[in-house]
């Protein structure tokens, strides 16, 4: 059995020392040291700051277990004794607060705990464990960076890709869905160009603020009027920046748009609609310069292999109970873990595990206040309750890995006097 007290202290340490995407150097160092101590062949700097550990234990399948390591530019407001006060530099060069507001510190701790248990009981399985500690999930580039850095060529092709994400539902629960499970994301930066001037003489200008405002409102019709009601799409304008002073009409406005889809055809339809609306609003405003639409980042759909989900969920139900393993429905959050499966041709099974105090969740559910009282991932108030989140997260990885790893050859029954 693993030392959960030591792992709890590790989790608190990681939580208090978060690092932004592709800057996870301290976390990577801790992970690498622990992997070496467990007897794993260990490589660092894979895909930038990624860490890979390989433990070979005879002939058998190769099971890839993945955890992401990066944090977010969020100022933590949990009030925990181990809350983050860290700061970092974002991709634009700005100084920002940093916090593990998505739970990746819990992912790292759970995987290290699972590897400790598996490494300590090698008589019970055969094959190869490929432990992947991935950078930059929040940017959608970490998995691809590791693949591009030769992950599969250097360490082997897995027979299955397994992983998990902590989520805002009761700790002790697991949720897994076959088929398209986590949404694709397209993030866009849109620059709309006008003609600046004095606020008292708008007739001499082309106002990009009004142009952008009209665009924001029109974009809200994409889901309601361009996409079928049976398709799931989310379109959010998360940022609009323009101007510096109340009496100055600026030269341009910048919007940042986030789109979530599950179907490739629907994705194309939505992106085409966004381009059409942006161009049309600019033309209606009389601008002489075509807007610029630039991709910021992109996540593919995570598609869980149905057979892999059925096989893995069966051992979850056997271990945790039928009532503690559910189908979460379509998850509009995005993940890049599927890139490992796509690149290797291996089936993927990626599940959620609860991180909220069960009593607090049930009380909020009874009051109808889950959305108000239960912090979600990326919130400044989000932090999983340590137990039973940690124990269940470790055990889920262990039972899933053992299901996919090989079994030891049965020993022959000894014979006595020629009678077996």
Q: How far apart are CA 297 and CA 256, in angstroms?
A: 11
Q: How far apart are CA 75 and CA 408, in angstroms?
A: 49
Q: Are residue 287 and residue 368 in the same domain, yes or no?
A: no
Q: How far apart are CA 413 and CA 178, in angstroms?
A: 41
Residue 349 annotated as part of some ligand binding site: no
Calculate mean pLDDT across residues 282-311: 96
Q: How far apart are CA 93 and CA 253, in angstroms?
A: 21
Strand partners, 197: 249
DSSP secondary structure string for all residues of 180-226: EEE-EEEEEEEEEE-B-EETT-GGGSB-HHHHHHHHHHHHTHHHHHT
Q: How far apart are CA 111 and CA 103, in angstroms?
A: 13
The tokens for 282 are 């600019």
- Tell me how crowded residue 395 is: count the other CB atoms within 10 A of its CB: 21
Q: Are residue 249 and residue 306 in the same domain, yes or no?
A: no
| Closest to 149 in 3D by CA, of 339, 345, 349 | 339
Contacts for 352 with CB less than 8 Å, ≥ 6 apart: 164, 165, 166, 167, 169, 174, 175, 176, 328, 331
Q: Is 273 left (phi over 0), alpha (psi -120 to 50) or beta?
A: alpha
**Separation of CA 74 from chain center:** 16
Query: CA dihedral defined by 17, 22, 25, 30, rounded to 10 degrees?
Result: 70
- Tell me how crowded residue 380 is: count the other CB atoms within 10 A of its CB: 15
Q: Are residue 41 and residue 139 in the same domain, yes or no?
A: yes
For residue 419, being part of any structural domain is answered with no
In the chain, the number of structural domains is: 2
Lowest mean pLDDT among 150-164, 192-206, 272-286, 398-412: 398-412
Residue 107 annotated as part of some ligand binding site: no
Q: Are residue 291 and residue 313 in the same domain, yes or no?
A: no
Residue 348 annotated as part of some ligand binding site: no
Calculate what percentage of the chain has a pLDDT beyond 70.
97
Compute the mean pLDDT over every residue in the chain, rounded to the nearest whole number. Answer: 96
The tokens for 22 are 């592709």
Q: Are residue 37 and residue 148 in the same domain, yes or no?
A: yes
For residue 290, being part of any structural domain is answered with yes
Instruction: Note the pLDDT tens digit of each residue in 380-403.
Output: 999 999 999 999 999 999 999 999
For residue 412, being part of any structural domain is answered with no
Q: Are residue 144 and residue 216 in the same domain, yes or no?
A: no
Could you tell me the pTM of the whole model? 0.91
The tokens for 32 are 């690498």
The tokens for 251 are 């030269």
Q: Are residue 141 and residue 108 in the same domain, yes or no?
A: yes
For residue 306, being part of any structural domain is answered with yes
**Separation of CA 83 from chain center:** 21
Give the catalytic positions in this structure: 70, 137
| Closest to 353 in 3D by CA, of 138, 172, 150 | 172
Instruction: Note the pLDDT tens digit of each residue in 164-189.
Output: 999 999 999 999 999 999 999 999 99
Choosing from 250, 270, 298, the residue where a domain stops is: 298
User: What Cα–Cα distance (Å) separates residue 39 from each residue in 56, 59, 94?
Assistant: 10, 18, 40
Asked if 18 and 71 count as a contact pair (C-beta separation under 8 A), the reply is yes
Q: How far apart are CA 62 and CA 130, in angstroms?
A: 7
290 preceded by a cis bond (ω within 30 of 0): no
Calculate mean pLDDT across residues 301-311: 97
Instruction: Note the pLDDT tens digit of each residue in 187-239.
Output: 999 999 999 999 999 999 999 999 999 999 999 999 999 999 999 999 999 99
Please provide the distance, in angstroms rounded to a whole number, between the alpha carbons at the two ends of the chain: 35
Calculate mean pLDDT across residues 270-285: 97
Q: How far apart are CA 90 and CA 405, in angstroms?
A: 40
For residue 413, being part of any structural domain is answered with no
The tokens for 123 are 């008589």
Which domain CATH number covers 386?
Answer: 3.40.630.10
Choosing from 259, 278, 298, the residue where a domain stops is: 298
For residue 84, being part of any structural domain is answered with yes
Q: Which domain holds residue 118?
A: 4-181+301-404
Calculate mean pLDDT across residues 72-87: 98
Residue 165 annotated as part of some ligand binding site: yes
For residue 416, being part of any structural domain is answered with no
Q: Are residue 175 and residue 205 in the same domain, yes or no?
A: no
Q: Are residue 244 and residue 202 in the same domain, yes or no?
A: yes
Q: Are residue 141 and residue 218 in the same domain, yes or no?
A: no
Q: Are residue 208 and residue 257 in the same domain, yes or no?
A: yes
Which domain CATH number covers 239?
Answer: 3.30.70.360
């Amino acid at each position: 059995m693993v030392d959960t007290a030591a792992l709890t202290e590790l989790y608190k340490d990681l939580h208090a020392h978060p690092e932004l995407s592709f800057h996870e150097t301290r976390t990577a160092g801790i992970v690498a040291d622990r992997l070496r101590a467990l007897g794993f062949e260990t490589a660092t700097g894979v895909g930038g700051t990624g860490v890979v550990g390989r433990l070979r234990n005879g002939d058998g399948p190769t099971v890839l277990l993945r955890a992401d390591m990066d944090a977010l530019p969020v100022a933590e407001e949990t009030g925990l004794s181990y809350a983050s006060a860290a700061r970092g530099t974002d991709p634009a060069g700005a100084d920002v607060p940093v916090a593990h507001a998505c739970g990746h510190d819990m992912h790292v701790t759970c995987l290290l705990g699972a590897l400790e248990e598996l490494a300590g009981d090698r008589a019970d399985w055969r094959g190869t464990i490929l432990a992947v500690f991935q950078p930059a999930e929040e940017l959608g580039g970490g998995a691809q960076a590791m693949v591009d850095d030769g992950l599969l060529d250097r360490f082997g092709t897995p027979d299955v890709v397994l992983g998990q994400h902590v989520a805002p539902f009761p700790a002790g629960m697991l949720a897994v869905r076959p088929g398209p499970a986590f949404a694709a994301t397209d993030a866009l930066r849109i620059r709309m160009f006008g003609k600046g001037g004095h606020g008292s003489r708008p007739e001499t200008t082309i106002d990009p603020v009004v142009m952008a405002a009209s665009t924001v409102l029109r974009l809200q019709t994409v889901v309601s009027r361009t996409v079928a009601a049976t398709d799931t799409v989310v379109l959010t304008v998360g940022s609009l920046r323009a101007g510096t002073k109340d009496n100055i009409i600026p030269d341009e406005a910048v919007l940042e748009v986030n789109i979530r889809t599950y179907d490739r055809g629907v994705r194309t339809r939505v992106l085409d609609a966004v381009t059409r609306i942006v161009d049309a609003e600019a033309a209606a405003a009389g601008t002489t310069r075509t807007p610029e639409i630039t991709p910021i980042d992109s996540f593919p759909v995570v598609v869980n292999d149905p057979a892999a989900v059925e096989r893995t969920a069966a051992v979850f139900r056997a271990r945790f109970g039928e009532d503690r393993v559910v189908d979460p429905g379509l998850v509009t959050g995005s993940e890049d873990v599927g890139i490992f499966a796509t690149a290797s041709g291996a089936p993927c099974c990626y599940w959620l595990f609860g991180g909220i105090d069960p009593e607090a969740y049930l009380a909020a559910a009874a009051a109808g206040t889950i959305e108000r009282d239960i912090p979600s991932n990326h919130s400044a108030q989000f932090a999983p309750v340590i137990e039973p989140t940690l124990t269940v997260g470790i055990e889920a990885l262990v039972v899933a890995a053992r299901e996919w790893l090989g079994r030891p050859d049965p020993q022959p029954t000894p014979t006595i006097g020629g009678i077996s």
